[in-house]
Homo-oligomer: A and B are copies of this chain.
């Protein structure tokens, strides 16, 4: 399988969505982990509901909606200062430690790299700059261009359209099992970074490769070409 370009999911894959936990715990002692987890879950759920119902709204706003719901559900008083602090943290999520080096190696090997994310262009710009990754990607592809979220085919289609190659000649990398399964359905060659050591979703579809960190993508590319 000749891979010409690699598209990375951003949230959960390159950037740690749970790096908000520390601040959440500081703001709401005893609730940090629960807040971070439910926030993430509702964020994804809202993107899916909005996609199915053709009610697109940018990811920044959906992320804020999910935060508001989460705090209400947990009985936490989210004032504007806390909301701004947590949303600000979301714009500066930590990158997983191995990522920058892996991306640099892939660049050195002449792979074309992109992010393909639910995030808005502004969010992707901010989070890659904060991680010092802005020079590593040819493209920051945001579903905002098509106004539907992953896992809709129109969202995945952004990759092949931008690079002018069939999806099977691109590697799509995600830590989100749902994302990697649906990208496989779409037609990408796929790699699942199973950071949380969880079982694969029972969707009747398997990613082409699986590993524990982004570094494992290098081995996959060496052995599968």
Q: Could you say which of A110-118, A119-127, A181-189 contacts chain B? A: A181-189
- Do most interface residues of chain A lie in helix, strand or loop, or is the interface mixed? helix
For the complex, give the distance between the alpha carbons of A180 and B161 in Å.
Answer: 36
Partner of A55, one of B48, B53, B55, B185: B185
Contact, CB under 8 Å: A202 / B69: yes
Distance of A68 from chain B, by nearest CB (Å)? 5
Separation of A69 and B199 alpha carbons in the complex (Å) = 7
Task: Report the minimal beta-carbon distance from A175 to chain B, rounded to whole angstroms.
Answer: 16
Question: Roughly how many angstroms separate A50 CA and B73 CA in the complex, as a whole number?
Answer: 27
- Nearest B-chain residue to A66, judged by Cβ: B202
Choose among B52, B54, B202, B204 the residue that contacts A51 (Cβ–Cβ < 8 A).
Answer: B52
Residues of chain A in range 181-221 having any CB-CB distance to chain B below 8 Å: 181-182, 185-186, 198-199, 201-204
The reply to whether A53 and B202 form a contact with Cβ atoms under 8 Å apart is: no
A198 to B75, CA, bound (A): 10
- In contact, B53 and A48 (Cβ under 8 angstroms): no
| A142 contacts chain B at the CB level, 8 A cutoff | no
Interface check A46, CB cutoff 8 A: yes
The residue of chain B having its C-beta at the shortest distance from the C-beta of A181 within the complex is: B49
Given contacts A53-B153, A57-B204, A65-B202, 14 further A-B contacts (CB under 8 A): A48-B48, A48-B52, A49-B178, A49-B182, A50-B203, A51-B52, A52-B52, A53-B182, A53-B185, A54-B153, A55-B203, A65-B204, A66-B202, A69-B201
**Which residues of chain A have a CB within 8 Å of any CB of chain B?**
42, 45-46, 48-55, 57, 65-66, 68-69, 72-73, 151-153, 178, 181-182, 185-186, 198-199, 201-204
